[in-house]
Structure 1
């Protein structure tokens, strides 16, 4: 009898030690991948030549007409104090969806701003339309806001957004759009409610509830010319997709799944969120975020010197600024 006790006890400890060793391996793997995708916003500047886009090239300085704004120094301090996630402090995130090509830095195909407040158990989310006309901070021109990335990478994009919203960005996440598709596949797809039927690049998207894989979600979020609301309609679909990705992410409790997801997006994502901040967020915020509120930046399209812009009034910029400030209080 004692012999069997010894054998069973030994087997038990072998299993426990094996599980502990595997858990330690997974933890270390997650930590390594998190370090690989970390990149400070200043280090993310990549001064390379960019190609022309349509009739508005970021290689050409677009001077202000003086109609609604002038090139002035940014009033926002861009040195952001670290957020204490252990104390569940609210924070802001700028998500840059980047369409990158070989030998071309590309442009920020989408810019989505998030404010996260666990005290209110909610996230506020809105797109900054890619054609928004604003000062490109650090470049001395007024241009489309998505050109900031082409001019000066993540750093210039963040500073330009901070100036436009008159509010600091605590963290950024840069996602290559192709890599975003892999992330969605790893999560088992996303569910959306499509307001109208459309056909785009070989795919039919019927009206109603749809379950989309990564490739389908990418196409769904890119179509705009057949949308009655144009770019604003596309922005709504982008927020739909990101909304579902956030909700699916908040449901993840398995460290093995986290390791798998980080591995899948490792080559496609850069962020200045540290590994310790990721841990703190998953531990302290995950169960407190129950609602995602979506708003839109209102404006109007107009041509200035033959180039199409989305113009946002100072009054509207103040409204969005106040929404951010109120949500973070």
Structure 2
């Protein structure tokens, strides 16, 4: 029974990203304004129970230069500052996630970072990954809400530095790299060198970051999204192995340091109770349909409006706005 409990807890920890942040706050006895009051929690819990599922936006922030990222946003919350203020950090990855508490099913829709959309308070359309730099996670979330016409209220923001720590904690991720990945930019801050050979191999934390940051695919951002989806699935499958229970304390500490969320603690606990129902083989993943296109000298991803409407209706029917 005890072994099953820890395995269930680990599954929740990996598959339901928000659990990392909340568990860290709970274990380390930290206060955070990210969690709502008791009355709001009860109202939120009832709303989610009626739906039987939760929708949240998962965002990856690339903070390789060490200038803040997720940590800076969390510091603003602790100090009582407005978390809608500019962060200067663009989202490198945006994934719309749905978790079903009854079945344990996970649904994930990747949104290309170069998607051309309207952002509140800005003139003309811009890349969707700019929203976070203009107004933090809430503006990014509202941008996706407007873009896809969804009732989206929650977010989880993960600093890519967490990937390095967690991958090292589980002794690397074994993955079949589909192509040679090479890119060198000595002018980047810090200088960026990506060099990964194709084929089956185990990526450590640093190589995993290189894999996730590589962008030079024949089909542009779509190729990068597919590569990230493959990595995420392999990472989750391997992190769920019983041997990695020993890495649990380090995972909790890492996710406390590098993850931010506004999902209430009681809802995260509800997700943990449903963790034993999760089957990663049934995880549904998709990417917004569309094509890459230059407008002036800027490369955008132009979504297919009909195709996008269809896939959003199929995957997130219960969250459509009227």
SS at match of 2:44: coil
The offset of 1:301, in angstroms, is 2.0
Residues 113 and 38 of structure 1: is their aligned pair in 2 closer, same or farther, counting only changes over 3 Å?
A: farther
Structure 2-normalised TM-score? 0.69
What CA distance in whole angstroms lies between the structure 2 residues aligned with 1:320 and 1:164?
13
Match of 1:261 in 2: 251
Q: Which residue of 2 aligns with 1:280?
A: 270
Q: Does 1:149 align with 2:132?
A: yes
Q: Is the 8 A contact 1:180 1:265 kept in 2?
A: no
The correspondence of residues 122-141 of structure 1 with structure 2, limited to 5 A, is: 122-141=105-124
TM-score, normalised relative to structure 1? 0.68
What is the aligned partner in structure 1 of residue 158 from structure 2?
175
Matches of 1:245 and 1:169, distance apart in 2: 26
How far off is 1:166 after superposition?
1.2
Partners of 1:165 and 1:320 within 8 A in 2: no
CA distance, structure 1, for counterparts of residue 180 and residue 310 of structure 2: 33
Q: Specify every segment of 5 or more residues in structure 1 that has no aligned partner in the other structure, as ranges.
A: 1-26, 42-80
Partner of 2:304: 313
1:1-329 paired onto structure 2 within 5 Å: 31-33=26-28, 35=30, 39=34, 82-83=44-45, 89-100=52-63, 101=65, 102=67, 105-200=88-183, 204-225=195-216, 227-248=217-238, 257-290=247-280, 291-326=282-317
How many Å separate the matches in 2 of 1:283 and 1:254?
20
Aligned-residue offset at 1:36? 6.0
C-alpha distance in 1 between matches for 2:168 and 2:309: 38
Higher normalized helix content (fraction of residues): 2
Contact 2:167–2:204 (Cα < 8 Å) also in 1:
yes
Change beyond 3 A, Cα 1:29–1:175: closer
Q: RMSD of aligned C-alpha atoms?
A: 3.4
Report if the CA contact (8 A) 2:180-2:196 is conserved: yes
